Structure 1
Amino acid sequence: MAGNNYIKIRLKGYDHRLLDESSKKIIDAVKDTEAKVSGPIPLPNKRTVYSVIRSPHKYSYSMEQFEKIVHKRVIYIYNASSETVTKLLKVNIPAGVSVDIKA
């Protein structure tokens, strides 16, 4: 990877189906150019659990658990040209997906 110019796209979201759909859109857009694509690579999920007392005053032994899971994917694009970048900018990504792009 030392000699190649590559783009690292990191996707985060709560719904894994939206992430898979978004990564497929990105890969389809890049495949039209001469760039090579590696991914989507699934990264470990971030799971956060919250415990809340059910009753407002007493019976503090009765707890309710809520969890939040953040799913992550990484896509590497090698030998990217200016045409690849313009196609990436035109990809429509849903609102539930966070995209970080590093060159």
Structure 2
Amino acid sequence: MREGKLPKRQYTQEFKAEAVRLAASVGGHEAARRLGVPVATLGNWSRRGTASAGASGAVAPPSEAPTRRPVSELEAENSRLRRELADAKLDVEVLRKATAYFARGSR
């Protein structure tokens, strides 16, 4: 095996089908991150499942189309807190630069 090359992984058909279902519910990138599978691999499984349903070796397509789930209260609070944190970091950076400027001017 050459350096820098990962060994080829083999996944069961059940794992692929569950991965495609998860990708349909939470999104491809999030599902790939959760499962530790490359995003492109998960996309290939989804396309093969929808393009050739019923062919041997293909993953069954998800039973329903992916729907956008409503934002829960926790997700809304999380995004609000992230914005608040970003604002606080910006304030700290401005104060740090102002302090350096005025410290230089007093010499």
For the aligned pair, the TM-score class normalised by the smaller chain equals under 0.3
User: Greater Rg, structure 1 or structure 2?
Assistant: 2
Higher relative contact order (CA 8 A, sep 6+): 1
The alignment's TM-score, normalised by the length of structure 2, stands at 0.22
Structure (1/2) with the larger helix percentage: 2
- TM-score, scaled to structure 1: 0.23
Higher strand share: 1
